Amino acid sequence: MIKYDTDERHSMTKLNLIVMDNARELGASIDEHLMKKRGAKSSFIVPIEMVRFSNAEGKVVLNGTVRDNDVYIIGDVGNYDQTYITHNRVQYMTPDEHFQDIKRTISAMSGHANRVTLIEPLLYESRQDKRKGKESLDCAIALQELEHLGVRNLITIDAHNPSVCNAVPRMAFSNIYPTSKILESVYKNEGEELANATVIAPDEGAIERAKFYSELLGCDLGFFYKRRDYYNVTNGKNLIKEHAYLGPDVAGKNVIVVDDMIASGGSVLKVIEELKNRGARKVFVCVTFALFTEGIGEFSRCFQGGLLNGVYVTNVSYVPQEIKNQPWFYDVDCSELLADIINRLNRGTTLAGVNESKDEVYQRFVRMRKKK
């Protein structure tokens, strides 16, 4: 009987990528990195056809075999540029429709794959991760649907609430943080500007993240507390009455505002204005996801007015090219990170060193500064 070590045994399992239409650019980059890592001469991508009927119902057709292979599905539920035609009207796809297409893709494999791993950087319904009163529990339900369909592993990036994994205790759930990639990009562009920095959390929820950054950079930490109007609801929200600041003096300091997401951008823009009013020298924003649901006009005006110096955003979820072309926008490439994760999972090796500990990120940052 032949005995294999863990790496060798798993390296014999063929790897396939299925790239959803909503993640073509990211998927192609991941595929290129995988080909280099494994010395492959041909793509790992198995083509699929995503069909829309005229009444907006859909299906997915798999145009290749995945039998007994490890399949990695890459999908971006946050892509708001995908369209289809129904009743002679152009419709833009929503996260709900993207998620439904992911489920169609899994069902198209008919259970023939060896293992199915879903790479969903922007976790579907991650902002509806817990229930307060009589409301839906969408993220947990979606995860349970994936588990029921046979997904063995789910890889997500910077989940809004990682503890939602408790909804699927039998499915492997890996939440990866792009901290080192973001810091590398910031340091590459800003260099010694970080020596006189203060890290700011724009709200209470981002304090732990900001603390991590401040400890790595060896600088001060501050945060803003959102005082809301809990007596009135506007468009389903309790509006913010004031951004109250708690922390060290930022006068003359360069400031890094860190959070997981920019949605409309209203909160972060208020924070930027408050910081500049307090004498901050330069202001940089670092986030994993940037949705810009109300456009980028205010961000451009802040940049032109000297209030904002840069916004660093990962490329794991869709951002239009016209936004990427803005002088204040910095694209942080995480495709090699995701390719490394796929390569390790397929070979059965640990993800240690990918989802780096605080000490590992610090050592990487020290080495980066020495090279500079």
Check if the beta carbon of residue 58 is closer than 8 Å to that of residue 50: yes
Closest by CA position to 66, among listed 112, 118, 19: 112
Mark whether 134 is an active-site residue: no
CA distance 3 to 9: 9
What per-residue string of b and e applies to 264-298 under the rule 16 or more CB within 10 Å gives b? ebebbbbbbbbbbeeebbbbbbbbbbbbbeeebeb
Which residue in 103, 181, 211, 226 is the catalytic one? 226
Residue positions annotated with a catalytic role: 226
